[in-house]
Amino acid sequence: MEITHFGHAALRIVSDGTTILVDPFISENPFLSHGDELAASLAADYIILTHFHEDHVGDTLAIAQRTGATVVVLADTPTQFLTGKAIPVMAPNFGGEVQLTPTITVKFYPAWHAVTTDDRASMSAGFALSVEGKLLYFAGDTALYSDMKLVALRQPVDMAFLPIGGYYTMTQDDALIAASFLTAAHVLPIHYDTFPKIKADVARFIADLPEGVGFRPAIGEPFHF
């Protein structure tokens, strides 16, 4: 598969002709010098959202309208911005597993992160993506919590995408504990340095992980996994 980190929590996974975008905060993303152009050109079959803060919803509506992508969100998440737009939505609840393709499934897990949108509170989520026999875990915006261990109960996590910026999410020191809970073979840090409040020492975070576990790809550059 091919994975691209666009900075913040925005990611793309391409496998066997299927393109999945995660939290596509693209056009306003300060890591991207031509975010508007990129947002207008990205392909997508599925868009998975962890929660409805603007730095995660990002360009979901425009991309879904242009590509016909299915938006995958946690059940009961407010999706009024999609109403009347003929955009397909899949909305499993925590613990439910849905099959995106014959070889790709997604399962939502809790994320401890407060969200209020248009005066309505909603839940945040992380999710596990099973693809090409590998398990990828996207923690979303979350604090550290011990039940992360359950993600890897049946299968060790091949790559974990963990926030390290602190303030709004777990700190980088807590993310080290999360990585151990997940028995993650590889960890790609996300959600750091976008805003002054979430500055992190990513080099130290990677150095503090076991050798070969931490991975920091160049922003916007695809890599094979």
Residue range 3-26, pLDDT digits in tens: 999 999 999 999 999 999 999 999
Q: What number of CA atoms fall less than 13 Å from residue 3's CA on the CB side?
A: 21
Mean pLDDT across the chain: 94
Q: Are 178 and 144 in contact (CB under 8 A)?
A: yes
CATH class of 2-224: alpha beta
3-state secondary structure of 17: coil
pLDDT, tens digit, 9 for 90 and up, residues 144-192:
999 999 999 989 999 999 999 999 999 999 999 999 999 999 999 999 9
Measured CA distances, 52 to 24, 75, 185 (Å):
11, 12, 29
Q: Are 182 and 157 in contact (CB under 8 A)?
A: yes
Could you give the CA distance from residue 173 to residue 208 in angstroms, rounded to a whole number? 9
- Interstrand relation of 89-90 and 70-72 (parallel, antiparallel or unpaired): parallel
**Is the confidence at residue 119, as pLDDT, over 70?**
no
Is residue 84 very low, low, confident or very high in pLDDT (cuts 50, 70, 90)?
low
In the chain, where the domains are located: 2-224
Q: Are 198 and 165 in contact (CB under 8 A)?
A: yes
Could you give the CA distance from residue 113 to residue 108 in angstroms, rounded to a whole number? 14
Could you give the CA distance from residue 182 to residue 7 in angstroms, rounded to a whole number? 23
Could you give the CA distance from residue 177 to residue 181 in angstroms, rounded to a whole number? 6
